[in-house]
Structure formats: C-alpha cells, structure tokens
C-alpha cells in the first residue's frame, strides 16, 4: 500500500469513528454514505479519463516532448493517460512498456513497474527507428 491508500483508509475509518461518537449509528451511516460518494466520484473521474483517451488514435500524442517534460517518476497509468490524451501502444510485456508518437516522429517510451512509471525516454525521429531495429525480438 502506498501513502495515498493508507491516508484514504485512515480518513474513512476516522469519519466512521467520529460519526459513531457524535451521532451513534446514524453518524456511521452518514460517514459510510460520504465515503461511498467519494469513491463514486473517483471512479467516475477514472472512467471519464479512459473514455477521453479511448477516443484518440492509439499511441499518438500532440507533442511527445511536452509529454516527456510533464512526466514524473511514480505516476500511475491513468495519470499518464490524462496527460497524453490517448492510450499508449504497448510494445513490451516485461517490463510493461508503452509508446506515444507525435507527427514530427518523436516517440516517448514509458516503462511501468508495479503499476507505476519507473523510467521513460524521448526518442527523436531518427533515434526511434534505430531503437526499433536494434531491439532483440521478443522471446517465443
């Protein structure tokens, strides 16, 4: 569990405890209702970002350079999809690697480990073609 998950569970438990101390079972029901409402808002936000990303061509981005500058280590895939505006093209399974390209030929390659962004690199037009040729074929 990361810090955000621990904080979320802690705040939810605290809301239930405070509700019980202040208003008994009615306070617990209010706290549970608020927690469920918050979870529904988060779910709706995630589905909306996936729907927007699915509407764009797979693996394309307006500017790979701008996306490269906005990435941070530890970002999860939905956060990256919101920045990119499209689903990435999966190029390698282990480690899970996605690519986005722009019209100029620049390609951003993002490597995910345990659902988080571990490493990313920007390949310019000529570099992307050289990297594709130099990669060994995937094991059968």
In a domain, 139, yes or no: no
In tens, the pLDDT along 119-140 reads 999 998 876 556 655 565 555 4
Is there a single domain that holds both residue 67 and residue 41?
no
Is there a single domain that holds both residue 48 and residue 85?
no
Is there a single domain that holds both residue 127 and residue 63?
yes
In a domain, 140, yes or no: no
Is there a single domain that holds both residue 61 and residue 114?
yes
- What are the residues whose beta carbons fall under 8 Å from the beta carbon of 136, sequence distance 6 or more? none
Count CB-CB contacts under 10 A for residue 134.
Answer: 7
pLDDT of residue 97: 93
pLDDT of residue 132: 58
pLDDT of residue 55: 85
End-to-end CA gap in the chain: 34
Is there a single domain that holds both residue 8 and residue 43?
yes
Domain count, the chain: 2
Conformational region of residue 38, where left means phi above 0, alpha means psi within -120 to 50, and beta covers everything else? alpha
Closest among 123, 126, 52 to 84, alpha carbons compared: 52
Is there a single domain that holds both residue 110 and residue 65?
yes
Is there a single domain that holds both residue 49 and residue 64?
no
In a domain, 13, yes or no: yes
To 10 degrees, what angle do helices 25-54 and 3-23 make? 150
Domain around 41: 3-53
In a domain, 37, yes or no: yes
Distance CA(31)–CA(108), nearest Å, equals 43
The number of angstroms, rounded, from the C-alpha of 139 to the middle of its chain's C-alpha atoms is: 27
Is there a single domain that holds both residue 49 and residue 62?
no
Q: Whole-model pTM?
A: 0.68
In a domain, 35, yes or no: yes
- What are the residues whose beta carbons fall under 8 Å from the beta carbon of 119, sequence distance 6 or more? 110, 111
Is there a single domain that holds both residue 96 and residue 108?
yes
In a domain, 130, yes or no: yes
Is there a single domain that holds both residue 49 and residue 61?
no
- Tens of each residue's pLDDT in the chain, 140 residues: 678 788 989 999 999 999 999 999 999 999 999 999 999 998 998 888 888 888 888 999 999 999 999 999 999 888 898 899 998 899 988 889 999 999 999 999 999 998 899 999 999 887 655 665 556 555 54
Is there a single domain that holds both residue 47 and residue 61?
no
Distance CA(16)–CA(32), nearest Å, equals 7
In tens, the pLDDT along 28-41 reads 999 999 999 999 99
Count CB-CB contacts under 10 A for residue 50.
Answer: 15
pLDDT of residue 128: 54
């Amino acid at each position: 569990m990361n810090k955000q998950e621990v904080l979320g569970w802690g705040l939810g438990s605290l809301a239930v405890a405070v509700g019980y101390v202040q208003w008994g079972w009615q306070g617990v029901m209010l706290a549970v209702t608020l927690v469920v409402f918050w979870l529904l808002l988060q779910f709706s936000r995630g589905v909306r970002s996936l729907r927007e990303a699915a509407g764009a061509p797979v693996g394309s981005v307006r500017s790979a350079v701008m996306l490269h500058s906005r990435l941070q280590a530890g970002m999860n895939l939905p956060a990256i999809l919101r920045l990119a505006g499209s689903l990435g093209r999966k190029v390698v399974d282990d480690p899970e690697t996605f690519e986005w390209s722009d019209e100029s030929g620049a390609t951003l390659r993002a490597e995910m480990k345990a659902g988080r962004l571990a490493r990313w690199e920007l390949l310019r037009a000529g570099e992307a073609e050289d990297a594709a040729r130099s990669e060994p074929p995937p094991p059968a």
